[in-house]
Amino acid sequence: MRCPAGGQGFVGTAWQAARVRTAYRCRAYPDEAQQAVLNRTFGCTRVVWNCVLAARQQRYVTQRQGTSYGQASAALTALKQDPQRAWLNQVSCVPLQQALRHQQRAFAAFFAHRARYPRFKSRRGRQAAEYTRSAFTLRGGQLRLAKTPGPLAFVWSWPGVDVAGLDPSTVFVSKEPDGRWYVTFAVDASAPAPLPGTGRAAGVDLGVTSFAVISDGQRIANPRHLQRRARSLARYQRRLARCQRGSANRAKAKVARAHRKVRDARRDFLHKTTTGLVRGHDLIAIEDLAVKNMVRNRRLARAISDCGWGEFRRQLAYKCQRAGRRLIVIDRWHPSTKMCSACGFVLAELPLKARAWQCPSCRTRHDRDLNAAKNILAAGLAAARDNPDDACGADVRHPETPPVQSAVKQEPRLARAGIPVLQDGE
């Protein structure tokens, strides 16, 4: 479907940012001495996080007061002065301070209802440490970390970007549960120019049978990455269950590697899908799905989680912002499935097993998913016309800001071909 207002669509109002945050994630290959220092840094960072988090909870229980970053930093100083924790001084202090900053932001996000309550960290999960400019150097493509012997070897995977001219603000070093090491460079770069307008808009209806149905009739098949590797994953999990906890054979189990392959395949699919949508459309409308509530269905929880709808929306949001596109998120209570996209008639009920239905008013036969995609697009276009100055689209969540209300809630008049009529006089 073509966008209104000429062939330029919504590109002219969507591009605002002059600087963007870009991250380059590379495989790292530390030697044994570097691995020992980094593992010690991960352990110290984890201990500091858990101790300060426990102190925060105890302070609130006893005094009913919160903890500021200054108070948390003072607690870190007391921890380093404790003779029983003198080993905290063997690593760089920068990752420890950064852990406190991350915890402070985590609590701010929790009180803003944008994240769950911060939890204690485990040594069996992903381990990471953040270094700022005072704790690393990147000269001539060689990375050196504070209190780490020698340069850290990594593989640069972007031939179009000169690593020697890179000026990162922070460096993240992480170790995945499967044993792989990674280094991530966070760079503040100039925002790319907006993509040329296509004059097209798309409504996207996400599902399980088909991953996505576009309003122009295109269907994107669900690759079902987890289901394809379910048998091999189950075999690895049985082997893991027979290993004694803490043994060498348990450490060599391939469960983490199998999950990593599934995760990488899913991320690659989502990147290709979202990039194609952003490049081909000026405006993209999607539905605000309550994924957290939907996975409570025991029969569909695994299939829904395997789709990665939350990651799909996150990638669409930042790619639309960088490319100068508009992303409109429609209210989850909008009757996109039960509404006739031709006349606006609204069914009272439509069971999930009904994949096609015929409108009682205009006798038009609809495919369930395609009809929903068309209604999502109509609501998105209506919201875009009512909010022409909203460059980022409605209900797109930005860091450190409260969530924006959904597009349909902001404007009760929905874009539809006719007047919705409920059955049985409702």
Catalytically annotated residue among 130, 205, 282, 395: 205
Catalytically annotated residue among 130, 282, 287, 331: 287
The DSSP line for 154-208 is: B----TTS-GGG---SEEEEEE-TTS-EEEEEEEEEEPPPPPPP--BEEEEEE-S
Catalytically annotated residue among 282, 306, 331, 369: 369
Contact by Cβ (8 Å): 334, 341: no
Q: In DSSP terms, which residues pair with 206 in a beta bridge?
A: 212
Q: Is 32 in the active site?
A: no
Q: Which residue, 201, 205, 203, is CA-closest to 309?
A: 205
Report how far residue 324's alpha carbon sits from residue 191's, in angstroms, rounded to the nearest whole number: 10
Q: Which residue, 373, 378, 343, is CA-closest to 358?
A: 343
What is the enclosing helix (H) or strand (E) of 274?
helix 255-280
Strands 170-175 and 127-132: antiparallel
Please report where in the chains the tokens 């959904």 appear, as a residue: 406
Q: Is 369 in the active site?
A: yes
Q: Is 205 in the active site?
A: yes
Tell me the two tokens of residue 179: 């044993």
Task: Tell me the helices (H) and strands (E) count for the chain, helix number first.
Answer: 13, 13
CA dihedral 147, 150, 152, 153 (to 10 degrees): -170
Active site residues: 205, 287, 369
